[in-house]
Amino acid sequence: MTDTKSPDTKPAAPKRVYEAPPTSRPITEAEAARAAKLAANEHIKIASGYLRGTLADGLLKHATGAISEDDGQLVKFHGMYLQDDRDLRPERTKKKLDKAYSFMIRLRIAGGVVTPKQWLVLDDIARTYAGNALRATTRQTFQYHGVIKSNLKRTMAAIDAALLDTIAACGDVNRNVMAATNPAQKKAHKAAYQLAKDISDSLLPKTGAWREIWLDGERVVGGEDGLEVEPIYGRTYLPRKFKTVIAVPPSNEVDIFAHDLGFIAILDGNNEVTGWNVTVGGGMGMTHGEPDTFPRTADVMGFCTTEDAIKVAEAVMTVQRDWGNRTNRKNARLKYTIERYGLDAFRAEVEKRLGKPLGEAKPYTFTNNGDRFGWTEGDDGRHHLTLYVPSGRIKDYEDGPQFLSGLRRVAEEHEGDFRLTANQNVIIANVPEAKRAAIEAVVDEYGMTKGAGALRRNSIACVAMPTCGLALAESERFLPGLMDDLEASLAKHGLEDEEITIRSTGCPNGCARPFLAEIGLVGRGPERYHLYLGAAFDGSRLGKLYREDASPAEVVSTLDPLFAEFAKAKQAGEHFGDYLIRAGHVAKTTNGPDFHERIGALK
């Protein structure tokens, strides 16, 4: 018998073999945890008395602006990170002074919606304790930077007075739940926002530690008493952070495929939500030089009704609680759990805990993952103004936009609400027709930007230097200058109006979701960046490493000829990332496991 198989035909890929899932709950006893060689954070959580640790005592130690190493892990669950100003490190070290310690505080604001009254309180906190700046984050909430230890309790009391909090904004828990902000689809947005709030409330840690430590609340039973105060989480919470988002097509501005759990609204002809496609297993973080870590786009697991959505969220999170890796934190996110045990086994366990099968996923279409700038009118006749805020930094720029003062003025007159977007921008929402001119006048008076060039409209940058301890390179302070050069290059080739996503991070943890940008820049060292290309404009496909350790000038010189070729050869409606794959410049990433394969320029 003659073998007719072509010599170029690749053999069929071997069938994937998955591990058998665990059958027991996470270890919660100290001795057993030591024997099982669990990660250090597991021991800290077990010994913490439901997130109390020694935080209360540490706040009274005035000899240093820091807290203990263990408390530095626990305080994340309270919405804070201990940081220091890295710009000041060399001089302070030379003078044998302690580092310039301060805290980053992140709020929990499900769906990113605040009232004008709350905005005024947050503005006052920024001017009193946080260096005259608010920062809109990629998690659709606010961060404060530079709050010193002696001002922590005052800041938290002010946040509480605004009926807001910072519980679970960080840490190994379900973090701030994001929701679609498209105000033109009022019914669908209302449903998405309500689901975000309901999931946030349902999956919120129940410990009384936050109120007890920061607001001098009474001791709540738990911890050493041995009584369970966390019916969902247990004593050790989750193996790692867990992020949930709600999207409303056709906009994917929340980047649903970048998160552990997502709900995609399925709409009828009247823009009414009929249910939700459920996505699982997305995540951005990785570690340079460690190929067993990788970003991953989420899988669409099935469909559920609104009635079942909260139960689905709890089931997904508790399976991750029980199956997630608690010995190696670098492989502890849900994306690795699904890679280890398989989507079929994961879905089966979710359905078992839900008590019913999920439905088949419904068709949907995303067109982009950016924001719509300027004025839009909703289907209820209300008006909404999206402002472009570079890297989300809400402050008064010298000889530039006066965002902090201007938005304070808006809040004093506004009758609607404010919405933060997942792309770090601000929406002045629900403006009555009669008030539109007045809002417009304030925005113009303070030089606030109602849009930007095409590249900047689709840009995100993380904070990085000088406050983030993980940053290997600049990001927020680096990206604007790079975009100046790239905009000149695009204009030279007639592409100044071309919509291209660009995102920058100072390290591979991926807070600004760079691996889903058509141009992704990830810090490798001082003024050195890995350049990723080939992601999808709608956020559905990861990019691929194209050039390693590039300087800013090398990034520009690398992209310029690609822009030139794209301008001449692109097809109607074709986006930059899609073109680079079609033209053979970069390999297509299908999902996380092949992220590190076929890297580099193919031409």
Annotated binding site for siroheme: 511
Annotated binding site: 462, 468, 507, 511
167: left (phi over 0), alpha (psi -120 to 50) or beta: beta
Within 8 A by CB and 6+ apart from 191, the residues are: 265, 273, 306
**What is the Rg, in whole angstroms, of the alpha carbon atoms belonging to the chain?**
24
For residue 86, indicate whether it is catalytic. Answer: no
The one catalytic residue among 45, 52, 76, 175: 175
Secondary structure (DSSP) of 550-576: E-HHHHHHHHHHHHHHHHHHPPTT--H
User: Residue 437: exposed, middle, or buried by beta-carbon count in 10 A (0-12, 13-18, 19+)?
Assistant: exposed
The one catalytic residue among 462, 524, 541, 544: 462
Name the token pair of 422: 């997942």
The one catalytic residue among 52, 139, 149, 243: 243
For residue 335, indicate whether it is catalytic. Answer: no
3-state per-residue secondary structure call for 466-486: CCCCCCCCCCCCCHHHHHHHH
**Residue 146, H or E segment:** strand 142-147
Edge-to-edge strands of the sheet including 178-179? 178-179, 244-247, 261-267, 273-280, 299-304
The one catalytic residue among 76, 149, 240, 241: 241
For residue 507, indicate whether it is catalytic. Answer: yes
How far lies 299's CA from each of 261, 277, 408, in Å?
Answer: 9, 10, 41
Neighbours of 170 (CB within 10 A): 22
Using alpha carbons only, what angle is made at residue 448 by residues 445 and 454, rounded to the nearest 5 degrees?
140
The one catalytic residue among 240, 507, 524, 541: 507
The one catalytic residue among 52, 393, 511, 524: 511
Using alpha carbons only, what angle is made at residue 515 by residues 510 and 519, rounded to the nearest 5 degrees?
115
* CA dihedral sign, ordered 353, 358, 361, 364: negative
Name the token pair of 39: 């990660």
Edge-to-edge strands of the sheet including 459-461? 459-461, 502-505, 519-525, 528-533, 544-550
Annotated binding site for [4Fe-4S] cluster: 462, 468, 507, 511
For residue 304, indicate whether it is catalytic. Answer: no
The one catalytic residue among 52, 382, 457, 468: 468
For residue 76, indicate whether it is catalytic. Answer: no
Cβ 126 vs Cβ 132: under 8 Å: yes
**CA separation for the pair 461, 453 (Å, rounded):** 16
**Residue 377, H or E segment:** strand 374-377
The one catalytic residue among 45, 52, 76, 106: 106
For residue 352, indicate whether it is catalytic. Answer: no
Q: What residues are annotated to the active site?
A: 106, 175, 241, 243, 462, 468, 507, 511
